[in-house]
């Protein structure tokens, strides 16, 4: 098993390119199940979650090649509509095949999902919506067994709470449904918007893209035909490297970013004292004279993303004053706190709120990653700490960050990937 060894403190300098967004690529790869012709997708990040989903599609009968961030895939001859436990257990996003499989074939079995242990993320909203569209849903032996032999039927669906994967699943299902589907309280994340835009270009009429209310006119089980497209830049990867620059008091330039997707993140970095300049798809962060404490509350887009909470907690250890971080979306997403405390961080937890006193001189230690974003937070803290920090269980990192240690090394970090 690999781990990362960091020698800190370090200073970064230079520029790196941001990869395609994992969270956009996953639903769009699942959406290829709505198509029965070969298609090409560019700028797909080469990370473990992508490989896992492609392995799943391969078991369903997809034929594909994935080279140099370009996926060519053909789903004409899908021979299987069962997504098995051995794959789904490793990645919760596998549930995204449920909507398109059911919409196109009228039946499927999908194992109940796994993924990061950051709290309960039930799929009941997905299932309830599909039932409203006429599906019969049963849970048998750990599988969602869904049937709609006459196809799904458009209807009015109100999500009880904002759900990103739930929105994506039902958008894909509605694309091939019969008639009009109205979706209320839809997630507005950039990944959801790109899914809608790609489906629009494939011939699906969708009204209200970018808002929390969509009207989708389905094709009545007629497969769609995708044009070639590329995945949007990863806003969470970009935010992580911005925090890496901020915590090390460095000047770093990011290439191939969408600054409009990062407004909530850059606003907090500016509040902390950093200066950020944007030109086209390039963004440069300049260090604060002295990092200032800040307050954040995670919420749905366009608010502050829960996927950046851990990285900002690492940053808060170096900010002067009392920082307050409220996690409002997942009840178990503070598992990185005890690991940051091993490095010397002063963090007090009460319920879903963490209070940090800074700045604290962190000291290198052995720490263990507990989920994808917590992993990156420990890497950031290790770059600010004095001495050697070893970050273990980095298979979590591999799920969502492409060549993180290589990109950090290019910027000047003293970081190595080693085997236990």
Q: What is the set of active-site residues?
A: 116
Beta-bridge mates of residue 214:
183
Which region, left, alpha or beta, applies to residue 180 given φ > 0 means left and ψ of -120 to 50 means alpha? Answer: beta
Residue 58: C-alpha distances to residues 32, 53, 77, 109, 187 (Å) = 12, 9, 11, 16, 29
**In terms of Cα–Cα distance, which of 366, 372, 380, 383 is closest to 418?**
366
Distance, CA of 164 to CA of 168 (rounded, Å): 6
Residue 314: C-alpha distances to residues 325, 374, 384 (Å) = 11, 9, 9
Distance, CA of 43 to CA of 246 (rounded, Å): 27
């Amino acid at each position: 098993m690999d781990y990362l060894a960091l020698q800190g403190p370090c200073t970064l300098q230079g520029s790196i390119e941001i990869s395609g967004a994992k969270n956009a690529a996953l639903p769009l790869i699942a959406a290829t199940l709505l198509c029965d012709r070969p298609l090409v997708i560019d700028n797909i990040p080469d990370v473990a979650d992508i490989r896992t989903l492609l392995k799943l599609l391969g078991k369903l009968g997809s034929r594909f090649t994935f080279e140099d961030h370009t996926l060519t895939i053909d789903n004409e001859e899908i021979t299987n509509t069962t997504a098995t436990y051995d794959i789904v257990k490793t990645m919760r996003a596998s549930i995204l095949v449920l909507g398109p499989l059911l919409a196109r074939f009228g039946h499927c079995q999908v194992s109940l999902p796994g993924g990061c242990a950051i709290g309960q993320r039930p799929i009941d909203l997905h299932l309830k919506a599909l039932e409203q569209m006429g599906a019969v849903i049963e849970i048998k032996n750990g599988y969602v067994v869904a049937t709609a032999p006459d196809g799904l039927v458009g209807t009015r669906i109100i999500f009880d709470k904002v759900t990103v994967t739930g929105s994506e699943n039902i958008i894909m299902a509605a694309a091939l449904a019969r008639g009009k589907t109205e979706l209320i309280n839809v997630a507005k994340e950039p990944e959801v918007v790109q899914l809608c835009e790609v489906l629009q270009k494939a011939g699906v009429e969708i009204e209200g893209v970018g808002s929390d209310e969509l009207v989708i006119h389905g094709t009545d089980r007629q497969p769609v035909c995708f044009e070639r497209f590329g995945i949007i830049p990863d806003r969470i990867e970009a935010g992580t490297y911005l925090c890496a620059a901020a915590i090390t008091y460095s000047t770093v330039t990011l290439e191939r970013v969408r600054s409009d997707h990062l407004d909530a993140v850059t606003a907090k970095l500016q509040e902390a004292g950093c200066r950020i300049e944007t030109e086209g798809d390039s963004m440069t962060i300049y260090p604060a004279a002295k990092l200032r404490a800040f307050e954040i509350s995670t919420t749905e887009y366009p608010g502050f993303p829960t996927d950046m909470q851990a990285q900002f907690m690492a940053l808060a250890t170096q900010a002067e004053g009392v920082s307050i971080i409220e996690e409002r979306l997942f009840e178990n997403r503070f598992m990185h706190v005890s690991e940051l405390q091993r490095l010397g961080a002063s963090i007090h937890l009460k319920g879903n709120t963490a209070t940090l006193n800074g700045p604290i001189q962190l000291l290198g230690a052995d720490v263990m990653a507990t989920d994808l974003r917590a992993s990156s937070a420990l890497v950031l803290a290790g770059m600010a700490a004095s001495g050697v920090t070893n970050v273990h269980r980095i298979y979590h990192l591999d799920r969502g960050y492409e060549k993180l240690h290589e990109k950090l090394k290019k910027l000047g970090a003293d970081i190595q990937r080693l085997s236990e």
